[in-house]
Amino acid sequence: MAARAQYQMPPPYPAPAYQPQQPPPQQAQAAAAADNSVGQVATIQGSATVTRANAAATALKVADPIFKNDTLETGANSALGVTFDDETTFSLSADTRIVVNDFVYQEGGGGNAASFNVAVGTAAFVASLVAKTGDMTITTPEAAIGIRGTTGVVEVPAGGGAAAPTVKLYPDADGHVGQIDVFDRQGNRLGALTQGASAFQLRPGPGGRLTAVPYRIPPQEAARDRGVLQRLNATHNIGRRMLIQRRQLRGPNRQRPNNQRRQGGPQNFRPGGQQNLRPGGPRPFNRPPPGPGRPRPRGPRNDNRNR
């Protein structure tokens, strides 16, 4: 217990030494105009690129919109911070590549979902509303990770090395510790992380099957993670402020394509098969339910009736 406590990171994390550049108003307005975007670049150090469809990679800058199916990649000695529309934030370390496979978010909706693939490198994240109201997953070449509203770090080493991929759970900035469930790509559950500063290494087991082996984070690695989480926390705060501005620029009644629910399923579908259905069928909004002692509404008065 004492050994694990030395790796516990008491929140709040201290502010990082660098001060990321804030976007000019015209950049924020351009990002807000991209109605089918799902997020926005919050911070950049060094160089980072985005690849869309079959186009060549293009350089990213602060306030650039991020879309579903984007491939994001950082260069050497670089870092990229992205905040999505539900306030989920990713901070990518140097030489990291991730893909935004899916992102559906509607405030108050029950069909929210997000899926990200970490192909290589180190990606730290703060999960927010999608993880709390829907389904958020992060995949790697070997595993699938279910996120339940928490902070974590996923590391996928470059191919050819002896290092194993790792999945780490850390406390949120307010001290809350969520949960990370780890599965193989066939859907078999390998284990769960529920304690702060706990981790799994993903290694082949008997018969070549993937296993999640408990991993004690070495002091040097824990110190490096503190820097990663400091950067993540700063990016999250900046990204949330930028998101508020984007919402104001869009206007309160502007419906966005990425807020549409996924096709082919019930409109109030929840993971696990639960349905958000009202007892007795749908009821018009603002109409009180019938109950004992409640007078029935009267029809219009007829002033020409016989007296």
Domain-wise residue ranges, the chain: 26-250
Instruction: Identify the pLDDT of residue 142.
Output: 92
Instruction: Identify the pLDDT of residue 17.
Output: 41
As a CATH number, domain 26-250 is 2.60.120.1440
Q: Which residues pair with 170 in a beta bridge?
A: 151
Instruction: Identify the pLDDT of residue 159.
Output: 82
Per-residue pLDDT of the chain (307 residues; tens, 9 = 90+): 433 333 333 344 443 444 444 555 555 455 444 479 999 999 999 999 999 988 999 999 999 999 999 999 999 999 999 999 999 999 999 999 999 999 999 887 778 999 999 999 999 999 999 998 889 999 999 999 999 889 999 999 998 667 899 999 999 999 999 999 999 999 999 999 999 999 999 999 998 899 999 999 999 999 999 999 999 999 999 999 999 998 888 765 444 445 544 443 333 323 333 333 333 333 333 334 444 444 444 444 444 444 4
> Which pTM was predicted?
0.74
